[in-house]
Amino acid sequence: MTTLLEPTIDLTARKVPLHRLVDVELRKLIDTRAGMWLLILIGAVIVLVEAVLVITAINFGEVAPWSVMFAVMATPLGLLLAVLGVMTVTSEWGQRTSLVTFSLEPRRMRVVLAKLLAGLLATVVLLLFTLVFTAALNQLQATIIGQDAIWDVPRSQLVGFGILHTSAFFLGFSFGMLIPNTPAALVAYFVFRFVVPGLLMTLGMFWDWFAPVVNWVHFSNALEAVLDVAPTSEAYWHLASATGLWVVLPLVLGSVLLVRREIK
Amino acid sequence: MIEVKNLTKSYGDFRAVDDISFTCRSGAVTGFLGPNGAGKSTAMRMIVGLTPPTSGTATIGGVNFSDIPNPGTQVGVLLDASAQHAGRTGREILMLGSITMGLPKQRVDELLELVGLTEKESKRRVRHYSLGMRQRLGIAHALLPDPKVLILDEPVNGLDPAGIHWMRGLLRYQAERGGTVLLSSHLLHEIEVIADDLIVIGNGRIIAQGAKDELLKGQGTLVRAKDHAALGTALRAANLEFTTHGEDGFTVQSTPEDVGLVAAQATVALTELRDSDGSNLEELFLSMTSETQRGTTFPIGANA
């Protein structure tokens, strides 16, 4: 009745395909209260901020341009997507689930890649939701007020909006990779986001030699310059350098540490 | 099947695992025994590639764990039943495992039933599970793909007597069908009942290993005679090593045959002659790990 087990390891078996790992990481984003609430919170912030804007516009009887709808969203959405980026990685460490995760897939960088893709997918879905939702609201308020909707966001700026927020996710992810602890990684990100830019500008003012350096390391300025109507070729180099410093470097360092780390 | 060679893990000056070598055969349950902090968990994490060894190797079926494609399907691992996200439901945890391994969905239900977690319990968050329930969930996770190798760290911890009984049956079945089982415990009696082979570890080093029957076999011969003094004289004359045993007996470091011959030549009438009692694992364990035990001996109430 009992079949004897082969006492050998089958090395010809198929390795875990990436799509299954991504599938698992997508589930992990929503199968805990913390993860679920973060996504609900992001959705709620988008809805509420836009609702307040549109209600105000209707009260004043003057349509709010589509560009304003994007502008009011920029800061809160950017922050929340960075938090999503951080938590996509760090949630693995808080509860020691890494013991299971990395014994089912010992090739640790594949798990990291799956996490990155899952988080990126969630980011894209949220951005598409923002796009569709604001477009619908824009039309709605125009109809209610009885004026023409102002579609003043050209496709190039939509792309810029996408890049801006995707970069927020990437930044969060990289910080989370480097600092495998949710609160610490979040604090580091907030320092980067709110303290570092001012600090760089101040240092640039104090030391003349530092002023040109600022352009190469100031991430949001560099990104803004590239998303400008007519970016200079130098602007691209500035962004590449700042991205290297704030996204690629922590990601690479974090990956090296992760591959070598003892998981316990 | 599992082969560990000169495995060492140092943290600075501290050697958590110190040059250990052992083999776990297929078709047998190997018990990994040692007090808390002896290095069992570190050794097991090295076997599954989570902890990089300082030196030495650990292979399963001749290959590194991390070289096994989709390793979960061939090696069932439970390292810490509490290392699960407290906010996930038991069912969801099994679901994540079965998706990763590419198993059919009904395996989750089959395993929940096998380990005795009800439908209702499986939908509760692990935060509300008792240690015994987490342990059952962890075992279900390890058994999901019906693997041929099981590596379980303290799997009977927190199980009730019925659970422990069930666990024994499960591991026995796994060994009888040719599987390899390595389980660690500091619960001596459990290991004594379940295991075929034993590895005793203390302070990171292997203190004893081998077949359980061999390790627990009694040492020497028990002999008794009415004329206690005459027997003692005869044994001393025959140059046999012995210690007194009770009122009128001796434990002799020799075979019953030799002791019987000595007694016959000295014409001492024996009242008893047999292999001495096998020591139980607890005595073995305590004697071997006495230097590495935490805390001091507590003599009050101890029966000698």
Is A172 in contact with A84 (CB distance < 8 Å)?
A: yes
Given pLDDT bands bounded at 50, 70 and 90, which one contains residue B212? confident
Please report the beta strands in chain B, taking only residues with DSSP state E, as ranges in sequence order.
2-11, 14-24, 28-33, 55-60, 75-78, 149-153, 180-185, 197-202, 205-211, 221-225, 242-245, 249-252, 270-275
Structure tokens at A124: 């894209």
pLDDT of residue B299: 46
Query: Is residue A229 in a domain?
Result: yes
pLDDT, tens digit, for every residue of A25-39? 999 999 988 889 999
Residue B300 structure tokens:
């009050």
**How many Å from the N-terminal Cα to the C-terminal Cα in chain B?**
41
The CATH code of domain B221-275 reads 3.30.70
CB contact under 8 A, A16 and B100: yes
Mean of pLDDT over chain A: 92
Return all residues near A160 (Cβ < 8 A) that are at least 6 apart: A227
Chain A CB contacts of B79 under 8 Å are 99, 103
Virtual CA dihedral for B238, B239, B242, B247, nearest 10 degrees? 40
Tokens of B29: 């349950």
What is the structure's pLDDT at B278? 63
CB contact under 8 A, A263 and B72: no
The tokens for A214 are: 């600022």
Q: What are the pLDDT digits (tens) for A138-189?
A: 999 999 999 999 999 888 888 888 999 999 999 999 999 999 999 999 999 9
Q: Beta B197-202 vs B270-275: how paired, if at all? A: unpaired
Domain count, chain A: 1
String of DSSP letters for A118-178: HHHHHHHHHHHHHHHHHHHHHHHHHHHHTS-------HHHHHHHHHHHHHHHHHHHHHHHH
The ipTM (two decimal places) reads 0.89
Domain boundaries, chain B: 2-213, 221-275
Instruction: Dump strand ranges (E) for B203-269.
Output: 205-211, 221-225, 242-245, 249-252
The nearest alpha carbon in chain A to B54 belongs to A262
The arithmetic mean of pLDDT across residues B234-251, rounded, is 84
Average pLDDT over residues A69-98: 92
pLDDT given at position B155: 92
Confidence band for B304, pLDDT divided at 50, 70 and 90:
very low
What does the mean pLDDT of chain B come to? 88
| pLDDT band with cut points at 50, 70 and 90 for residue B171 | very high
Q: What is the mean pLDDT of residues A228-243?
A: 89
List all residues 6 or more positions away from A105 whose beta carbon is below 8 Å from its beta carbon: A16, A21, A111, B100
Domain interval for residue A73: 18-260
Examine the pLDDT at B115 and tell me if it is beyond 50.
yes
Residue A5 touches partner B, C-beta closer than 8 Å: yes
Residues of B in contact with A105 (CB under 8 A): 100
CATH architecture, domain B2-213: 3-Layer(aba) Sandwich (3.40)
Cα separation of B120 and B137, whole Å?
14
- pLDDT at site B296: 53
Residues 6+ apart with CB under 8 A from B19: B6, B7, B8, B56, B205
Residue A254 to residue A176: CA distance in whole angstroms: 8
A109 shares contact with chain B (CB less than 8 Å):
no
Q: What is the pLDDT of residue A217?
A: 93
Report whether pLDDT(A1) > 80. no
Residue B293 has pLDDT above 80, yes or no: no
What is the pLDDT at residue B303?
A: 42
Query: Are B136 and B170 spatial neighbours (Cβ–Cβ below 8 Å)?
Result: no
Judged against a pLDDT cut of 60, whether residue B302 lies above it is answered with no
Residue of A nearest to B176 (CA): A4
pLDDT at B176 over 90: yes
Is residue A243 situated within a structural domain? yes
Structure confidence by residue, pLDDT tens digits, A214-226 = 999 999 999 988 8
- Residue B301, pLDDT score: 43
Determine contact, residues B196/B175, Cβ cutoff 8 Å. yes
Write the residue in B67, B70, B176 that is nearest to A16 by C-beta. Answer: B70
Strand order in the sheet with B180-185: B75-78, B149-153, B180-185, B28-33, B197-202, B205-211
**Chain position carrying tokens 């390890």:** B142
Residues of chain B found within 8 Å of residue A99, distances taken between Cβ atoms? 50, 79-80, 83
Distance in Å, alpha carbon of A39 to nearest chain B alpha carbon: 16
Instruction: Please name the residue that has the structure tokens 């899952």.
Output: A118
Task: Give the separation between CA A89 and CA A175, rounded to whole angstroms.
Answer: 9
pLDDT confidence band for A230 (50 / 70 / 90): confident
Which residue of chain A comes nearest to B84, CA vs CA?
A97
Please report, as a single letter, which amino acid is at residue B298.
Answer: F
By the 8 A CB rule, do B256 and B275 touch?
yes
Residues of chain A neighbouring B1 (CB-CB closer than 8 A): 7
- pLDDT of the residue at B240: 85
For position A3, what pLDDT does the model report?
Answer: 63
Contacts of residue A7 in chain B, CB cutoff 8 Å?
1, 26-27, 61, 148, 178, 180
Cβ-defined contact of A5 to B179 (cutoff 8 Å):
yes
Looking at residue B280, its pLDDT comes to 59
**For residues A174 and A89, is the Cβ–Cβ distance under 8 A?**
no
Return the pLDDT at B220.
78
Mean pLDDT along residues A71-86: 92
Asked if A262 is an interface residue toward chain B (Cβ–Cβ < 8 A), one would say yes
Whether chain B has a CB inside 8 Å of the CB on A1: the answer is no
* Assigned domain for A3 exists: no
Q: Which residues of chain B does A24 touch, with a Cβ-Cβ cutoff of 8 Å?
A: 96, 99-100
Q: Tell me the pLDDT tens digit for each residue of A113-137.
A: 999 999 999 999 999 999 999 999 9
Q: What is the pLDDT of residue B241?
A: 84
- pLDDT score of B258: 87
